[in-house]
Chains A and B, each alone.
Chain A
Amino acid sequence: MKGILKIAYKLLVNDKGKFAALLIGITFATFLMNMVTSMFAGILLKSSSTVINIGAKIWVMDPAVNTVQNSIPMPDYILDAVRSINGVRFAVPLYSGAALVRLRNGVYQSVSILGLDDASLFGRPELMQGHIEDIYSDNAFIVVKDAEFPKLGNPKIGTGFEVNDHTGVIVGIARVTTGGLFGVPTLYTTYSRAVQYLPSTRYTISYILVEPKSTGDVQHIKEQVKSMGYVALTKDEFMQKIANFYKYQTGVGTNILLMTAISFIVGLSISGQTFYTFILENLEKFGALKAIGARGYELVYMILFQTAFTSFIGYGLGIGLSTLLITIAKLRLPSYAAIITYRNLGMAFIMVLVIAGISSYIGVRKVIRIEPFDIFRG
């Protein structure tokens, strides 16, 4: 068997033009699929950046909330009610909203504002410059140094600005793990200042962040919150909910699906087509092999080996290429939203297997059907 596979290998690789075309087809398909799905994974991650950065284990919110940005304010008594649930270690409010900032040079810039619980500052970011206590001083805001930071004119500690006719001043510069999706800078302040400075409805709590006493309490907390007419989601559930919103309730998911399907079809047609001509060209030789005494299954193994070999190499090249491109893009463009996930790698792999499977099927069918007599007759 080894010998016949070596023959198959040589038939494939020595036909440099076809082998290259096959590789290009699979590499291209893998590359596109991985790019598109990685971008989508990146977008999904960024859309949940606030959830990740704040880091609370449980988030209580209005059932109609789809994304972090579009919170629906809740009345204060809910906070007290949540605090009194058995199994809650602590529960704090979070303000999350958008505002318009007027820079010193007169330029307006929209920002997203997070107001942290005054007492605990739960969810505070890691500071690169400044001291966290300064958040309590007059008009204090902490700015996140992410890809959007320059849009505020690269502020320093002490830089002043206006928020809704109130004065603001930068007292710290912070770092977060995940940048946001919407291309606006993020400011942190206290919950009470956020409520005071920013226009709000009758209710002011965007989210209630809950720390359970133990993971065993989570279920109970969820049930209790539900009975109040709200929902309590774990961090992962909330991220999943946001992801589902983008996947199924916006055009993004459909487009990604479409792009993935297109790259799959393109890859399939290039590789399938090339493999088909490759088989056609070698068909007589396969027939001659049959006449000489090759068993049917040996020819099938040869073809399976050829497609498997090309697919694995093409897959490796495609993944390598897209990883390289994403890495370079991230170096040049810090906010570039793409992450390679094992799930996407697996998905691309399955797609490649399907391409290989269909190509082999075409080849095997041809080769199985060939009659050595037709070869003999010439």
Chain B
Amino acid sequence: MAGMAVQARELVKSFGEGEAKTFAVRGVSFEAHFGEMLYIEGPSGSGKTTLLSMISGILRPDSGTVVVEDKDIWSLTSDQLADFRLNTVGFVFQDYHLFPRLTTVENVAIPLILKKLEWNESMTQAMRYLEIVGLRDRAQLPPVKLSGGEQQRVAIARAIASQPDILIFDEPTASLDGDTGRKIVDFVKKNILNENRCILIVTHDSRIFEYADRIMRMEDGEIKGVEKGGQ
């Protein structure tokens, strides 16, 4: 088995106070490895997004630890956490969050600019990632001129532009039709996944289960089981 990418131990997260207090995640432990595509699957409200957020340095858990590449991320300072997100994690948000006032290539270049690369160098590199997702000819268009599937690919190009070890997708196919969704995930598995990278995908779209290496089922803030995915 390849190296350990993520190790989560006894993660707990609740929201609200007193009567209104609800537990979104109740003591979740799991591991994810480099070279694998791990799905987190479960009904809406089961705590998938909350779990992903705690793993990616976005949401601080009430208790428990997250170790990524031997770093206990929740013991980092907030600046170190920002660096961690910038350098180690790549996000593909459910509704992409692309800037409509920037061109497609500028959108992809954002992590590079945040890494303080020169503007021109950022654009050159961003072009390469656009090429990977097959959208080189769309570089100068604003993302709103692109189809949903194309925007999803732009979001992927932006997520991989910082060459993250861990890629996080939240419901990547939710706003795509079935065929486009499958194509995207197929593409990600073939072109984006490699042995030095771990991809975590939250979904309840069973049409893309075939691409998973493992599928972790979540319910009510707990993990109810892990299955081998795929064919």
Contact = CB atoms under 8 A, between A and B. Distances in A.
Interface of A: 1-4, 6-7, 10-11, 14-15, 282, 284-285, 287-295, 298, 372-373, 375-378
Contacts of B35: none
Contacts of B111: 292-293
Q: Which 3 A-B pairs have the closest CB atoms?
A: A293-B86, A288-B97, A3-B113
A296 to B, nearest CB: 8
A290 B113 CA distance: 13
A11 B101 contact: yes
B85 interface: yes
26 contacts: A3-B116, A3-B122, A6-B113, A6-B119, A7-B102, A7-B110, A10-B102, A11-B99, A11-B102, A14-B102, A285-B97, A288-B91, A291-B91, A292-B91, A292-B110, A293-B83, A293-B84, A293-B114, A293-B162, A294-B86, A298-B114, A373-B59, A376-B49, A376-B52, A376-B53, A378-B94
B10 to A, nearest CB: 20
Interface of B: 49, 52-53, 58-59, 79, 82-87, 91, 93-95, 97, 99, 101-102, 106, 110-111, 113-114, 116-119, 122, 162, 170
Contacts of A15: 101
Contacts of A295: 79, 82
A285 to B, nearest CB: 5
A3 B118 contact: yes
Contacts of A284: 97
A375 B96 CA distance: 10
A293 B87 contact: yes
A146 B136 CA distance: 71
Given A14-B102, A294-B82, A378 B93 contact: yes
A288 B49 CA distance: 15
B82 to A, nearest CB: 5
A285 B53 contact: no
Contacts of B79: 295
Nearest to A377: B49
Contacts of A372: 58
A14 B93 CA distance: 24
Contacts of B118: 3
Nearest to A19: B101
Contacts of A2: 119
Nearest to B170: A376
A66 to B, nearest CB: 58
Contact of A4 (B49, B58, B95, B114): B114
A298 B115 CA distance: 12
A377 B101 CA distance: 23
A291 B58 contact: yes
A375 B59 contact: no
B58 A376 contact: yes
A21 to B, nearest CB: 15
A14 to B, nearest CB: 4
B47 to A, nearest CB: 11
Given A4-B113, A295-B79, A376-B53, A14 B101 contact: yes
Nearest to B115: A293
Given A289-B110, A295-B79, A3 B85 contact: no
Contact of A292 (B52, B114, B119, B170): B114
Nearest to A297: B79
Contact of B116 (A1, A10, A287): A1
Given A3-B122, A10-B101, A11-B99, 10 more contacts: A1-B116, A3-B117, A3-B119, A4-B113, A6-B119, A293-B84, A293-B86, A293-B162, A373-B53, A375-B93
A373 B58 contact: yes
A9 B101 CA distance: 10
Contacts of A289: 110, 114
Contact of A294 (B101, B102, B114, B119): B114
B85 to A, nearest CB: 4
B92 to A, nearest CB: 11
A2 B86 CA distance: 18
B86 A292 contact: yes
Contacts of B106: 7, 10
Contacts of A6: 113, 119
A142 B43 CA distance: 99
A291 B125 CA distance: 21
A288 B82 contact: no
Nearest to A288: B97
Contacts of A287: 97
A293 B93 CA distance: 14
B158 to A, nearest CB: 8
Contacts of A290: 82
Contacts of B82: 290, 293-295
